[in-house]
Structure 1
Amino acid sequence: MTIKFCALSSGSNGNCHYIESKGTRLLIDAGFSGKRIEELLSSIHVKANTIDYILITHEHIDHIKGAGILSRRYNIPIIANKNTWLGMADKIGEIKDKNIKVIQTNEDFNLGDLGIYPFNIYHDAAEPIGYIIYYKKVKISIATDTGWVDNSIKNKIKGSNLYLIESNHDVEMLKNGSYPWFLKQRVLSEEGHLSNIDAGEILSEILLGNGEIVLLGHLSKENNTPSLAYETVKEAVGEVYENIELDLSLRDRPTKLYTL
């Protein structure tokens, strides 16, 4: 049996991703209304009432908006670290005690037939994390909403079969754009978001060129374009581009349902 992955939507308006193995279905983040997440899942022929778990990366609203309603509607456990729970508890409404699951950052755990490793990232949230998902010999790494990827993170995610990595902005578009100065500084900081160049440099260091799938996510609507993100990363990774599958996770439609 294989594992399936779909980036349902990625951007500052909301983030939600789907993973399915033989025995487990989960969402990484639930940053839209419950109705919208149901629609996104329906577009890949998945019913929301079949979701087993919702994993949260951090407490910003574009990652948690629909988590509470889905948990209450379908009795789904929500999984997050302690500080993320403290930051989001008053935003997502009342959750049954049995559906409040607290994890430790940088400590692995299992959900059904999936292995999960939550690793620390750098963002202006209480305790932001990325996730590595293991299924048999397959490894999927998700790292968005981070202003910096240090060597520790690179070493953790290297060797993945599929990467979802942030490619948020073009630096010049951001600097010359309409954002107020303080917001530009936030985005550019080590607790902000990765630029296209950042994403390309990171990928150039970790890709092995053995058929990895690379999805660029959390693209800014104001300070980036899909083609600019794609071409910047393509140039940065060099010859390895010929031996990977590079695609975009956009805000207005899901990616295809990848089978690994």
Structure 2
Amino acid sequence: MMRMTVLASGSKGNSTLVASSRTRVLVDAGLSCRELMRRMAIAGEDPSALDAILITHEHLDHVAGLAVLARKLRIPVFFTEQTHRAWVRMLTPKTTMTYAKWLDHLQQEKEAKAAQATVQESGRSAEDLCEIPAVSLEDVQAEEDAPPAVKADPSALPAVEYFLAGTNFCIGDIDITPFTIPHDAADPCGFVFAAEGIRMAIATDLGYMPPNVKQAIAGSDVLLLESNHDLEMLRDGPYPWSVKQRVLSRVGHLSNHATAEFLSRDYDGGAAYIVLGHLSESNNAPELARISAEQAVGDRMRLLGNRILLAEQAQPLESIQL
């Protein structure tokens, strides 16, 4: 048996649990640790039974609770190397120096050099040396043994594992195929999970459906697919034009129309469940996404057995078990 439980899906946070009879993997941790634990409890999942966390990309709605959750559960996190580096950079505090501070810094360096030159030119007398307080060996040893003051590293994780898009790997008894997706992140990926003869795929946060994604998700029994926005609602909606351009771009998000086009033209019809995810709260309506997908699937009689579900932002979707 395999099961998929979408804990949250949308611009405010994404997380999905995929499990076989022996292995449990959390895909993304885009809510706070506390909220993720709460939603797992609602869904009847035991957080302490998780084996790993798998990250699609470094955007905040996919990693907001990652570090705290991983440290709390003491489980490894799987990234591509580029995604891990981008995530660490995102958490590393950025220090900037104003022009005034830079001038002060230059002045301090100049004064320090002048003072050092004065000492070297004048030399130091025996009396000056006698005035220097003695330092005991015990003091030196105590200073060396003292633990350094280290600030907590916000990106610290119990363990990090790297994978490569296009290269299969396993977590427990689940075989995982990561595939590259077109999105404006460092190295974004979707995934196909296979165990016990069942295939489950996650393909969200992609600006369009390239051939490699279509090929990767073919033959899936459960398909979590993005249906982010309605084109007219986005164009007339509250977002700034720059954000609208990003969403509509080839590294943005799939519209209801683009998802329906894939379902009517390229979808192989093999999934028992199609889950529509990452629906925009501002630029979409659940029923618009559902009707668009149902019409696309319904136009092909052999696909009428497919069940279309909507993943929600506010609460977990009931677990899908096959």
TM-score exceeds 0.5: yes
Q: How many Å apart are 1:107 and its aligned residue?
A: 0.5
Give the match for residue 70 of structure 1.
69
Q: How many Å apart are 1:190 and its aligned residue?
A: 0.3
Amino acid across the alignment from 1:41 = M
Give the match for residue 221 of structure 1.
281
Give the match for residue 197 of structure 1.
257
CA contact (8 A) 2:18 2:26 kept: yes
Higher share in helix: 2
CA contact (8 A) 1:213 1:245 kept: yes
Amino acid across the alignment from 1:140 = M
Give the match for residue 59 of structure 2.
60
1: distance between equivalents of 2:304 and 2:312?
Answer: 22
Does residue 37 of structure 1 match 2:36? yes
Q: How many Å apart are 1:234 and its aligned residue?
A: 1.1
Select 2:244's aligned residue among 181, 184, 189. Answer: 184
Mark the structure with the bigger radius of gyration. 2
CA contact (8 A) 2:2 2:196 kept: no
CA contact (8 A) 2:264 2:300 kept: no
The sequence identity of aligned pairs, in percent, is 37
1:126-185 CA-to-partner distances (Å, cap 9, x unmatched) read 000000101131111100000011122101111100000000000011011111110010
Amino acid across the alignment from 2:291 = E
2: distance between equivalents of 1:162 and 1:181?
Answer: 35
2: distance between equivalents of 1:233 and 1:52?
Answer: 34
1: distance between equivalents of 2:288 and 2:203?
Answer: 20
Give the match for residue 123 of structure 1.
183
Amino acid across the alignment from 2:211 = N
Amino acid across the alignment from 1:106 = G
Tell me how large the CA RMSD over aligned residues is.
1.3
Q: How many Å apart are 1:91 and its aligned residue?
A: 4.6
Select 1:160's aligned residue among 216, 220, 224. Answer: 220
Higher share in strand: 1
1: distance between equivalents of 2:171 and 2:271?
Answer: 27
Does residue 95 of structure 1 match 2:156? yes
1:13-65 CA-to-partner distances (Å, cap 9, x unmatched) read 00000111111111000000000000110011112111110000000000001
2: distance between equivalents of 1:233 and 1:76?
Answer: 37
CA contact (8 A) 1:177 1:223 kept: yes
Give the structure-2-normalised TM-score.
Answer: 0.78
Q: How many Å apart are 1:84 and its aligned residue?
A: 0.4
Amino acid across the alignment from 1:55 = L
2: distance between equivalents of 1:50 and 1:71?
Answer: 12
CA contact (8 A) 2:15 2:28 kept: yes
Give the match for residue 254 of structure 1.
316
CA contact (8 A) 1:158 1:206 kept: no
| Structure 2 unmatched runs, 5+ | 92-153
| Structure 1 unmatched runs, 5+ | none
1:211 to 1:123, Cα distance in 2 relative to 1, 3 A: closer
Give the match for residue 50 of structure 1.
49
1: distance between equivalents of 2:243 and 2:204?
Answer: 18
2: distance between equivalents of 1:247 and 1:49?
Answer: 28
Give the structure-1-normalised TM-score.
Answer: 0.95
Task: Report the count of equivalent residues.
Answer: 258
